Amino acid sequence: MDIETWKYSRIVEEPFDKLKQKFELDRSELPVFEVQSESKHTLITTRRIIEKTSSTVIKAEFENIDDVMYGLFKGQIDKPELSSFRIIDLCGDQIDFQLETGKAAVGLIKSVNMVRKLVADR
């Protein structure tokens, strides 16, 4: 992964204080990956996916996620820099979160899949 080429995405490194405060994370919850565009800020943590805009906050707890769909953007010509991925929760509700396309998508996909596996193995 060539993270220097990512425009909106990054692997979260310490210190976590600003993100913990902005997203009101629990003491034991750690930020893992984020996507920050002009209109949205999405955070993958060890417990949930959170996306904030200027007026809304949407959240999905990993223990309540049934499926994740990333879409078929690979190889697409003239794809936008930002797209979305969808989670389906245990009740069948669908929630869309932003995703940076291209090589940065690999970081988000690996982060989400890793946390899902950790939660499932508990």
What CATH number did the domain enclosing 95 receive? 2.30.29.50
Q: 25-37: per-residue pLDDT in tens?
A: 998 999 999 999 9
- In whole angstroms, give the CA distance from residue 29 to residue 65: 17
Name the DSSP letter for residue 75: T
What is the domain range of residue 52?
3-120
- In whole angstroms, give the CA distance from residue 63 to residue 40: 24
- In whole angstroms, give the CA distance from residue 116 to residue 33: 14
Q: Which helix (H) or strand (E) holds 111?
A: helix 104-120
Residue given tokens 């669908």 in the structure block: 94
Q: 65-104: per-residue pLDDT in tens?
A: 999 999 876 666 677 899 999 999 999 999 999 999 988 9
Q: 51-67: per-residue pLDDT in tens?
A: 999 999 999 999 999 99
pTM of the model: 0.92
Number of domains in the chain: 1
